[in-house]
Amino acid sequence: MAGNSIGQLFKVTTFGESHGVALGGVVDGVPAGLTISESDLQIDLDRRKPGQSRYTTQRREGDEVKILSGVFEGKTTGTSIGLLIENTDQRSQDYSQIKEVFRPGHGDYAYWHKYGHRDYRGGGRSSARETAIRVAAGAIAKKYLKDTHGIEIHGCLSQLGPIKAEVFDWSLVETNPFFFPDASKLDALDEYMRDLKKQGDSVGAKVTVVAKGVPVGLGEPVFDRLDAELAHSLMSINAVKGVEIGDGFDVVTQNGSTHRDELTPEGFTSNHAGGILAGISTGQDIIASIALKPTSSITISGKSINIHNEAVDMITKGRHDPCVGIRAVPIAEAMMAITLMDHLLRQRGQNPHVDVPAPPIAATR
């Protein structure tokens, strides 16, 4: 496959560059009869939208999504859904400075060598701007999962640089500009970000996504395990350098006697596994975390080269997020929704005679 599609039965295909005419995509495999409208998609797009707070880029994009097909009289028809977001903030900038230069930490160098011809405006296809369409597609999946199966997906920023959430108060997440679940750390976050901006630097972050109400049995054996496909979809988000399921890298120092989640007639007694065993969902909460690198677009000068292999000094001007992890929260939710949706359809196709039992009592950290 060329690289711009994900999923098997629920499949998302996208196009569009940072400074092109428009972003768009095709969402294929949505069952017929789902009530959906553009405003359902807009909610998540607005959560991802730049310029929402002083902690994110001030680039202003309306990010208004249009549904071009596949929905008739307010309900899906089962045929492919065309999505379109016009790029309204294509400033006629002067790109002469970055046209021939590879920005360190970006895809410029690799794209140049891979393709030999490159849309250098704002990173072109490699810009995180393309994730707007992921969020729109994910919103369709989220609505289907919730409306038909009661599955809910929530994400939050669980760490920003050295500041780590100790408490997961989900009711707090949508009330602060960081999507942060720990009230006691909000002031520290604010202060940290102010300092960072002064320095002209950026910082990494950790985002955690949880899906509640997922039935037992999603995921296929061996290669298409649910965790493997989640790793794929989450790692495909720009700037992600690591993916964890459940306890993640903490398992390296754990013993089997502490890690294994014991079972009782009332359900699991813990959820170190993050809701997935042997690649199949167990009915507990699905828990995944991702590590996002600090954006490389900073105002501190860095060494680089141009296409003629000449040394240059590089300062990235423009409107950039000092911590891309913040706006990654709705993107991570979208990718988890896309993957769960695909596996729900696949499981239903392949094992329909098995009753999907109500999930047992979940013990979630």
Provide the annotated binding site for FMN: 125-127, 238-239, 278, 293-297, 319
- Cα dihedral 254, 255, 256, 257 sign: negative
Backbone angles phi, psi at 154, to 5 degrees: -135, 140
Residue type at position 218: L
Residue numbers belonging to the annotated binding site for NADP(+): 48, 54
Please identify which residue in 138, 181, 294, 330 interacts with a second copy, judged by CB under 8 A: 294
Q: Among 136, 140, 245, 286, which residue sits at the site for a second copy (rule: CB under 8 A)?
A: 245
Among 167, 249, 317, 318, binds a second copy (CB under 8 A): 249
1-60: which residues touch a second copy (CB under 8 A)?
1-6, 8-17, 20-26, 28-29, 31-33
| CA–CA gap between residue 349 and residue 365 (Å, rounded) | 32
Decide: is 361 part of the binding site for a second copy (CB under 8 A): no
Of 37, 43, 62, 68, the one binding a second copy by CB under 8 A? 68
152 or 224: whose CB is closer to a second copy? 224
Of 232, 216, 202, 176, residue with least CA distance to 53:
176
The DSSP 8-state label assigned to residue 9 in this structure reads S
Distance, in Å, from the CA atom of 357 to the CA atom of 216, rounded to the nearest integer, reads 7
Rounded alpha-carbon distances, angstroms, from residue 332 to 81, 89, 153, 206, 243 = 21, 24, 10, 11, 11
> Would you give the binding string for a second copy spanning residues 253-292, x where CB under 8 A is met?
xxxxx-xxxxxxx---x--xxx-xxxxxxxx-------xx
Angle in degrees, CA 213, 218, 220, rounded to 5: 165
Q: Is 206 helix (H, G, I), strand (E, B) or coil?
A: strand
Q: How far is the CB of 74 from a second copy (least distance, A)?
A: 10
- 8 Å CB contact between 215 and 283: yes
Residues 80-109 binding a second copy (CB under 8 A) are 80-82, 84, 102, 104-107, 109
The CB-of-255 to a second copy minimum distance in angstroms stands at 5
Q: What is the DSSP string of 135-183?
A: HHHHHHHHHHHHHHH--EEEEEEEEETTEE-SS--HHHHTTSTT--S-G
Window 124-163: contact mask with a second copy (x via CB under 8 A)? xxx---x----------------------------x-xx-
Q: E strand or H helix at 23, and its extent? A: strand 22-28
Regarding 115 and contact with a second copy (CB under 8 A), the answer is yes
Mask of contacts with a second copy, 204-223, x by CB under 8 A? xxx---------xx-xxxxx
CB of 306 to a second copy, least distance (A): 10
Q: Which is nearer to a second copy, 186 or 251 (CB)?
A: 251
Q: Which of 174, 357, 361, 365 binds a second copy (CB under 8 A)?
A: 357
Q: Applying CB under 8 A, does 186 fall inside the site for a second copy?
A: no
Minimum CB distance to a second copy smaller for 84 or for 153 = 84
Reading the block at residue 214, the tokens are: 């997922």
Nearer to a second copy, 52 or 270 (CB): 270
Closest CA to 105 of 314, 291, 331: 314
Structure-token match 């790692």, residue found: 235
Measured from the CB atom, the residue of 330 and 359 that comes closer to a second copy is 359
Q: CB nearer to a second copy: give 29 or 171.
A: 29
In the complex, the smallest distance separating the C-beta of residue 138 from a second copy, rounded to whole angstroms, is: 13
Say how many C-beta atoms besides its own lie within 10 A of residue 79's C-beta: 14
